[in-house]
Structure 1
Amino acid sequence: MLEKKIKYGLIGKNIDYSFSEKFFNEKFINENIGNCTYENYDLSSIKEFNSIIKDNSIKGFNVTIPYKKEIIDFLHEIDPIAKKIGAVNTLKICDKKKITGYNTDYIGFINSIKHVISNHSKALVLGTGGASKAIIYGLNSMGIKSTIVSRKKKYGLITYEELNEEKVKQNTIIINCTPLGTFPKIKECPKIPFEYITMNHLCYDLIYNPIKTKFLKESEKKGATIINGKKMLENQANESWKIWNS
């Protein structure tokens, strides 16, 4: 009798580029986990989640742009840290279809950056989506004060037009949490004044495809230390696997 397959997958929109499917299926092969598969679920609307969750063999999902906040409405339970962050990137499906939401992005981020932040105390976070919420939580937990940069004027945030020399030089960590620059739109980039970036800056892009975005290339030209999102993704994926098997 054939062993029943356990399914995992990624929920998102326009996710052909995704890292997760390749990462997990290679993991299953390399670690001889023969009863598991991982696939992409490219949803044009989060409402489509109701149909895919009917599959009894699915035990967990990762969640990416643009559904990290919208998926919360479908949960039966949410982990306290994910609730505090306000975004979910990992779902665990238990018996009787009980869905619990977690956030492993912040752990992946912390573990990818903690070795290079000793000389930094302030950060600019570009973007206001679900990913940025996890990054802000991670920064706060490491004692780094963050300022959020938004396209629109909102209370407690600043706009790109407000990024002057003083603000850029005071905030020596700059993190791109927007999708600008993701393959295939590699010429796109957040509109920040790169002329004020120096060798004292650490510029981090959550994007991993391409390996070096326009944001990172422009920052590197000014002498900044640059990091892409690949290590963060690997870290958060491994944390997701721990949750699914807990």
Structure 2
Amino acid sequence: MAKYGLIGKDIGYSFSKTFFTLKFEQEKRPDTYRNYDVDNISQLLQIVKSETELKGLNITIPYKEEVIPLLNKVDKVAKEIGAVNTIKILKDGRLVGYNTDHYGFAKALSNYFPFKEKTALILGTGGASKAVAYVLNAMGFTFRFVSRKKSKDSLSYDELNRDILNNHFLIINCTPLGTFPRVHEYPQIPYQFLTSDHLLFDLIYNPRETEFLKRGYAKGARVTNGMKMLEYQAKKAWSIWKS
């Protein structure tokens, strides 16, 4: 029996355990998947040491960047992105980091082409946003990051106006705002300037319809949550663990 799991903080909302448990049942595998809710990513090493049958881990908020120094090796793409969300545990105990978020996002986004223009706003600057930026760059989008504080690399939410939204037709929420149980939170963008030319893509999948998506839909925008991205990246993680 092999063990797998998810490491993050306050991860009761996650569907990863449900996804893999169902997969194992359908394939009649004795494998298990559990959540490891930790206060510090350094606990990863103790988990791996104590769980001798552990073969692979998923990493989620807020540890996708912090986990990298703890790994023995990082895949080329994950290194370029600067974030890891999948770890393969080798037979000798070495930890190899990968990023499957970029694969999941690219595959999910491909269902929504074409866009009026290949322009995007990425809300948030954490590990998930780096995978999104990697994909958008590869697809030929021009994009801007949006953060709570303005910097040389990002706009602030206060700077968003009609002109900016009229020139950016894909808006991706990479923040945890709106995740269960804090479902009434949402990114502070000027929703009144959205049109049917916009797509709002929320990486959040619990709840399936976030306040971010509700507000976009009310203005005629196309909307989608992160469920398909989760499924695609999870399948990719599984292929890495079994390779």
Shorter-chain TM range is: over 0.9
Q: Which amino acid aligns with 1:52?
A: I
Q: How many residues align?
A: 241
Structure 1 residue 140 displacement after superposition: 1.1
1 CA distance for matches of 2:165 and 2:236?
33
Q: Which residue of 2 aligns with 1:45?
A: 40
Hey, what does 2:106 align to over in structure 1? 110
Name the SS of the counterpart of 1:212 in structure 2.
coil
Whether contact under 8 Å (2:13, 2:179) holds in the other structure is no
Within 5 Å, give how 1:65-104 maps onto structure 2.
Answer: 65-104=61-100
**Contact kept in structure 1, 2:145 and 2:155, CA below 8 Å:** yes
> Which of the numbers 209, 216, 236 marks the counterpart of 1:212?
209
Query: Where in structure 2 are there 5+ consecutive unaligned residues?
Result: none
Distance of 1:89 and 1:156 partners within structure 2: 23
Q: CA deviation at 1:117?
A: 2.4
- Quick one: distance in 2 between partners of 1:214 and 1:222? 13
User: Cα deviation per residue 1:104-147 (whole Å; 9 max; x = unaligned)?
Assistant: 00100011111212224000000000000001111111111111
Question: Is the aligned partner of 1:173 residue 2:170?
Answer: yes
Question: Partners of 2:216 and 2:68 in 1: how far apart?
Answer: 35
Give the alignment of 1:21-32 within 5 angstroms: 21-32=17-28
Greater displacement, 134-143 / 79-88 = 134-143
Note the 1:135-146 alignment, pairs <5 A: 135-146=132-143
Encode CA deviations 1:51-70: one digit per residue, 9 max, x unaligned. 10102210100000000000
The aligned counterpart of 2:144 is 147
Scaled by the length of structure 2, what TM-score is found? 0.97
How far is 1:177 from its partner?
A: 0.4
Q: Distance in 2 between matches of 1:163 and 1:151?
A: 11
TM-score (normalised: structure 1): 0.96
Query: What CA distance in whole angstroms lies between the structure 2 residues aligned with 1:29 and 1:187?
Result: 35
Worse overlay, 190-199 or 147-156 = 147-156
In structure 2, distance between residues paired with 1:146 and 1:105: 18
Alignment of 1:122-137 (within 5 A): 122-137=119-134
User: CA–CA distance in 1 between the matches of 2:111 and 2:207?
Assistant: 23
Any conservation in 1 of the 2:42–2:70 contact (CA below 8 Å)?
Answer: no
CA distance in 2, matches of 1:81, 1:190: 29
Q: Deviations over 1:7-40 (max 9, x none)?
A: 0000000011111001001000001222x11000
Q: How far is the alpha carbon of 1:175 from its aligned partner? A: 0.5
- In the alignment, the residues of structure 2 paired with residue 216 and residue 110 of structure 1 have an alpha-carbon distance, to the nearest angstrom, of 19
Q: Indicate the SS of the match to 2:92.
A: helix
> What amino acid is aligned across from residue 41 of structure 1 in structure 2?
Y
| Alpha-carbon displacement from aligned partner over 1:145-199 (angstroms, at most 9, x marks no partner) | 1110011121121111111111111000000000000111111010000011011
1:33 counterpart residue number: 29
Q: In structure 2, how many angstroms separate the alpha carbons of the residues matched to 1:21 and 1:137?
A: 27
- Paired AA for residue 128 in structure 1: T
Counterpart of 2:123, as a letter, is: L
